[in-house]
Amino acid sequence: MNATQLFEEIKKKKSFLCVGLDTVLEQVPEHLLKYKDPVLEFNKQIIDATKDLCVAYKPNTAFYEARGIKGWQSLIDTWKYIPEDVFTIADAKRGDIGNTSAMYADAFFNLEKSEMSFDAVTVAPYMGKDSVGPFLQYKDKWVILLALTSNPSHEDFQTLEGSSGKLYEEVIRVSAQWADNDQLMYVVGATRGKEFEHIRKLAPDNFLLVPGVGAQGGSLAEVCEYGLNTQCGLLVNSSRGIIYASKGLDFAEKAREEALKLQKEMEHILKNKGLI
Ligand SMILES: O=c1ccn([C@@H]2O[C@H](COP(=O)(O)O)[C@@H](O)[C@H]2O)c(=O)[nH]1
């Protein structure tokens, strides 16, 4: 899916919501434990309840890798269950020397080898161009580079000042030369709301993946004040705030309610900005 197609989906659904599938077996409602794969069943019901309200799903691979072979199978089966017109992000935060990155790229993009072919994978930029390049070899896929993350300790490195500005600014400036806007997005935390005006100047045309709304307290309104561009340019993620809205029999219904609240707010914002 390229940027134009993604924007078409956003306009159709009046939403730029990404639902995070950070599913923990121990938090799956008890009535699902009878299933062979309770995590998969949970994800399926969340997807069924939210697929008309969101344009992307983002399983964070850590939640699956932590369960070994069973977890990896849940990830594959979850990816297979997501409807084709919904953008898929493997939040894996990979990146290594070139030949190793090529294996990571195969792991998330190469259907024949790995049984999964996500639209995008999150990548740490720290090792530079030759560590990101192998992901970009998949021309119809996206790399989402960590820029300014949502966690409090982002200040340890990302905002350190060098001769040409802050480290995260340099990440955006330099990496923008490596690929066009149909292949490269940046992670910017919703908790960094005030920085969006500046980030939009550095990356006017790229999509931004914005985690941190919901459980981490980021503000959607603040993000959107300066974060939108002419193609919307935002995928705003909420994981725990949606999938754990209830731990009971009504978990999917409550997840839908939370997703709907965000979708309605997004619809309002898109209309106000003249994007729909
Ligand atoms: O800067 C970042 C980068 C990634 N994340 C990931 O997004 C989700 C957020 O989950 P919530 O439950 O909505 O807080 C999770 O997978 C993080 O690892 C992030 O939060 N911040």
| Residues 192-236 pLDDT 10s | 888 999 999 999 999 999 999 989 999 999 999 999 999 999 999
Question: Which ipTM score applies to this complex?
Answer: 0.99
- Does residue 211's CB lie within 6 angstroms of at least one atom of ligand 1? yes
State the pTM of this model.
0.98
Report d(CA 222, CA 218) in Å as an integer.
8
Mean pLDDT over 231-257 rounds to: 97
CA–centroid distance, 212 to ligand 1, in Å, is 6
- Does residue 189's CB lie within 6 angstroms of at least one atom of ligand 1? yes
Tens digit of each residue's pLDDT (9 = 90 or more) over 37-95: 999 999 999 999 999 999 999 999 999 999 999 999 999 999 999 999 999 999 999 99
| Residue span of the structural domain in which 251 resides | 3-272
User: Structurally, how many domains does the chain consist of?
Assistant: 1
* CATH at residue 248: 3.20.20.70
Note the pLDDT of residue 193: 86
